[in-house]
Amino acid sequence: MRRSTSRRPWLAEGPWAWLAAGGVALSLLMVIALLVLLAGRGLAHFWPQDIEAVTLEDGAQFAGQVVREQGLPGEVDGRERLYRTGNRDLQGAQWRWVDVADIDTRATPEDLVIVERRRWGPFIGRVVALEGPETRWTVEDGDTLWQQLDERLNRVSQLRSERDVVRTQYLEPLAERLANGEKVADDEDELQALKARIVNLQEAMQRDRVVLESLEGQQLTLTLDALIDVTRPNAMSLPAKLSSWGHNVWRFLSEGPRDANTAGGIWPAIFGTIMMVLLMSVLVMPFGVLAAIYLNEIAPQGRLTRLVRIGVRNLAGVPSIVYGVFGLGVFVYGIGGTLDSLFFADELPSPTFGTGGLLWASLTLALLTLPVVIVATEEGLARIPDAQREGALALGATRSEALRRVVLPMAVPAMLTGLILAVARAAGEVAPLMLVGVTKLASQVPVDGTFPFIHLERKFMHLGYHIFDAGFHGGDVESAMPLVYATALLLVLVILVLNLTAIFLRHTIRTRHRVRTH
Amino acid sequence: MLMADASPTPATLHEIVRDIPSTDRCFEIEDLTIAYGDKTALSGLSLHVPRHRVTAFIGPSGCGKSTLLRAFNRLHDLNEDVARQGRIVLEGQEIHAPEVDVADLRRRVGMVFQTPNPFPMSIYENVAFGLRLQAALPKRRRDEVIEWALESAALWDEVKHRLHESALLLSGGQQQRLVIARTLAVQPEVVLLDEPASALDPISTLKIEELIRNLKSHLTLVLVTHNMQQAARVSDYTAFLEEGELIEYGATDTVFTNPRLARTENYITGRTD
């Protein structure tokens, strides 16, 4: 009897080869599936989906975007469909399950709009009229109405940015000066003038109004400053939809969150994550590298060194929440509390450094990633042949000169490997951050134009925590879900970009130090 | 030509330095004992190294010849558990004296290792490495020194157009000559060569040997080698070590053609009886 291996040559390697290859294939598949799921669910959310006008068997009408369809529980043929209907203020909910059998007709009339509002989530329905101070345009005016609406929305957004500039650049600094008692004669008047100007701007933003009507027949009049965007997906061509999609993605990346993190963008979280990782790198690299140099190059190699080395390696396995507790106890309450009582006593009892913040979070993560950097750097140092050190010493270099001029430059790629591992670990860490400085909604990013520009004591937003908060702490699961996917995708991308940067850096240095093999 | 004496004793200092006048001695080693932990590498060794000559140390592996070589520039200081007794005098100065700066000693006593160990830098920077450790030279002067060093190491013509390429792109033989140039650039008085050609092909080996012969006009060279022909070809004096002791030391011609002791002859001729 012939053995099966000879009939099937691909089995000749035996079951181990298959098992190993299967392992690789499975890992690859899981990574790809993860990315596809995140990208598919996350990015589809920004697509301007058609709005259906649905008439039910009983004659009732409503409008909404199809979210998904599923079988009715307990029935064989029955299906139900989930619509996103918006109009939370009018209907009480913005999601509606409809039995497919109850639907009489479905249409996509071009005049249906989805209006993004500052409050109450989206409105879905029709625009009845646009009311200016003197004129009124109705649907009969056709394109003129939409043009006017666009123009007026632009005007409002210009006024808004003007108001923000006046507020942040003039009013707030002035108010702060006054609060600190640095009075100049005209300051009080100037403050009043600025306040009046802001009120003026706000009134100007409310000049125009739009009248909306839902398909159920309820009317709603909103001033334009309550609106963010008005789109008519049913009237859009594919390129227009694409550009709208791009615009939405950009807004997601560049704006702050709204509606208790269930809408809007995640810019503060992106910024907070990157800022924290950078600060963590700046803190961990010198410590880790110095510790590795001491352990490998300077300390006498004996039992104590071995013990320290084992300790360092074991620190890498401590659960991150333990580091969080440590950070809270030592950094926040200990050091932060002391700093407050020494330098910010006049602010007490409201804490400055005595509460979680960017600095403490970065320090905690630096501590968490320290073992990784030490181990990677030490391994790099150990790989450098003694011949290199002796070569430098034999030319009259002192030990520190040999270290600085020969050993350290050769160990840079290993240090960067340590940095890559540290960044990968730190950017994905959420648990300890919840204790030492992350917040669900930060009104200000930790970097701005007022001295000292980087505000290390501020709380910050983080992509990982944002996923947790938006997905599991909001009331509206349906609207949070796509944001969770999109945020998760972004977190993966941010880590990827940070890592690729370090890998590119390492590659450049390795090429310069390329070792020729004989 | 075996000795009549059935149990010959190791050479005494008196015998082996007879023909090296004291004014021509570069290194004087007296009663040197070196131990790593509880393993003795050299025991009570005395010898003089003549100035501007090539002295070769031969002997079986583990006989202590590399240890002896590394004692000349105190490179064994790097080992933590090393214990040393006895004196090493360089040009009248005990090198272990507290006022001696080890870095300066190592500049005066250069060393070339068994495997070429150029630094992962450009050819130019390799040669400039030792210079940059000293007082700053103006760039023009430095360039001159580097050209001179590369010429002395017979490498200049091969690399003059690629000085700023990585030294790691050179062949093994070129790398070893680069290491010699690097050593010469800091103008040492002595160059220690630890089996400098053992990792090289025959042609590169010949170039290195020729280089060694040329360098002795202004340098003292000490060579450790396993290659008897090489020792015979390039050295003026040869010391034979075995088990940490100096067995025989004399002019190379004498040691190779008419050794005093049977042990020496057996080693040189490869007999193992």
* In chain A, domain spans: 53-254, 267-512
For A370, counting Cβ atoms within 10 Å of its Cβ (0-12 exposed, 13-18 middle, 19+ buried), the class is buried
Rounded mean pLDDT of A249-273?
A: 81
Which of A301, A395, A405, A514 would you mutate first to test chain B, the one with the most B CBs within 10 A?
A395
Question: From B81, which residue of chain A is nearest by alpha-carbon distance?
Answer: A300
CA–CA min distance A408, chain B (Å): 12
Q: Is the pLDDT score of A46 beyond 90?
A: no
A4-18, A377-391, A482-496, B69-83: range with lowest mean pLDDT: A4-18
Confidence label for B62 from pLDDT (cuts 50, 70 and 90): confident
Helix (H, G, I), strand (E, B) or coil at A118: coil
Confidence label for A514 from pLDDT (cuts 50, 70 and 90): low
Question: From A407, which residue of chain B is nearest by alpha-carbon distance?
Answer: B119
Q: Report CB contact under 8 Å: A391, B119.
A: yes
Out of B75, B104, B186, the one facing A393 most closely (by C-beta) is B75
Q: Report CB contact under 8 Å: B133, A385.
A: no
pLDDT in tens, A294-327: 998 888 888 899 999 999 989 888 899 999 999 9
Give bridge partners of residue B39 from the DSSP assignment.
B36
Which has more confidence, A181 or A236?
A236
Out of A301, A390, A409, the one facing B75 most closely (by C-beta) is A390
| Global ipTM | 0.86
pLDDT of B253 reads: 85
Question: From B115, which residue of chain A is nearest by alpha-carbon distance?
Answer: A387
Indicate the DSSP class of residue B12.
P
Please state, in angstroms and rounded to a whole number, the distance separating the CA atoms of residues A271 and A253: 10
Residue type, B124: Y
Residues of B in contact with A393 (CB under 8 A): 75, 78, 106
CA–CA min distance A285, chain B (Å): 23
Confidence label for B23 from pLDDT (cuts 50, 70 and 90): confident
Confidence label for B3 from pLDDT (cuts 50, 70 and 90): very low
At which residue do the structure tokens 């500052």 appear? A118
Q: Is the pLDDT score of A428 beyond 90?
A: no
pLDDT > 70 in chain A, percent: 92
Confidence label for A23 from pLDDT (cuts 50, 70 and 90): very high
Q: What is the pTM of this model?
A: 0.78
Please state, in angstroms and rounded to a whole number, the distance separating the CA atoms of residues A410 and A365: 27
Question: Contact, B241 vs B247, CB < 8 A?
Answer: yes
pLDDT of A287 reads: 92
Q: Report CB contact under 8 Å: B104, A514.
A: no
Confidence label for B9 from pLDDT (cuts 50, 70 and 90): low
Which has more confidence, A24 or A109?
A24
pLDDT of A365 reads: 92
CA–CA min distance B185, chain A (Å): 9
pLDDT in tens, B136-157: 888 888 899 999 999 888 888 8
Q: Report CB contact under 8 Å: B133, A518.
A: no
Q: Please state, as a whole number, how many other Cβ atoms lie within 10 Å of the Cβ of residue B216.
A: 18
> How high does pLDDT run on average in chain A?
84
pLDDT in tens, A123-177: 998 888 888 888 888 877 778 888 888 888 888 888 888 888 888 878 877 777 7
Which of B69, B109, B121 would you mutate first to test chain A, the one with the most A CBs within 10 A?
B121
Task: List domains and CATH numbers for chain B.
Answer: 52-66+102-241+248-269 (3.40.50.300)
pLDDT in tens, A327-348: 999 988 888 878 877 877 776 6
Question: Contact, A316 vs A371, CB < 8 A?
Answer: yes
Confidence label for A372 from pLDDT (cuts 50, 70 and 90): very high
Residues of A in contact with B169 (CB under 8 A): 516
Please state, in angstroms and rounded to a whole number, the distance separating the CA atoms of residues A271 and A353: 21
pLDDT of A371 reads: 93
Q: Which CATH class is domain A267-512?
A: mainly alpha
Question: Contact, A145 vs A139, CB < 8 A?
Answer: yes
Give bridge partners of residue A213 from the DSSP assignment.
A126, A219
CA–CA min distance B147, chain A (Å): 18
Q: Is the pLDDT score of B63 beyond 90?
A: no
Please state, in angstroms and rounded to a whole number, the distance separating the CA atoms of residues B213 and B154: 12
Q: Is the pLDDT score of A517 beyond 50?
A: no
pLDDT in tens, A224-257: 888 888 888 888 889 989 998 998 889 888 887 7
Angle between helices A267-293 and A463-472 (to 10 degrees): 140
Q: Is the pLDDT score of A354 beyond 80?
A: no
Q: Report CB contact under 8 Å: A387, B117.
A: yes
Query: DSSP secondary structure string, B193-218?
Result: EESTTTTS-HHHHHHHHHHHHHHTTT
Q: Which of A180-184, A440-444, A466-470 has the highest mean pLDDT?
A: A466-470
Q: Report CB contact under 8 Å: A395, B117.
A: no
Q: Report CB contact under 8 Å: A300, B80.
A: yes
Angle between helices B172-185 and B139-152 (to 10 degrees): 130
Q: Report CB contact under 8 Å: B103, A518.
A: no
The CA-based diameter of chain A, rounded to the nearest angstrom, is: 108
> How high does pLDDT run on average in chain B?
84
Of the candidates B66, B57, B69, B71, which has an alpha carbon nearest to the alpha carbon of residue B16?
Answer: B57
Q: Which two tokens stand for residue A458?
A: 């501020």
Question: From B107, which residue of chain A is nearest by alpha-carbon distance?
Answer: A396
Confidence label for B178 from pLDDT (cuts 50, 70 and 90): very high
pLDDT of A12 reads: 62
Confidence label for B191 from pLDDT (cuts 50, 70 and 90): very high
pLDDT > 90 in chain A, percent: 15
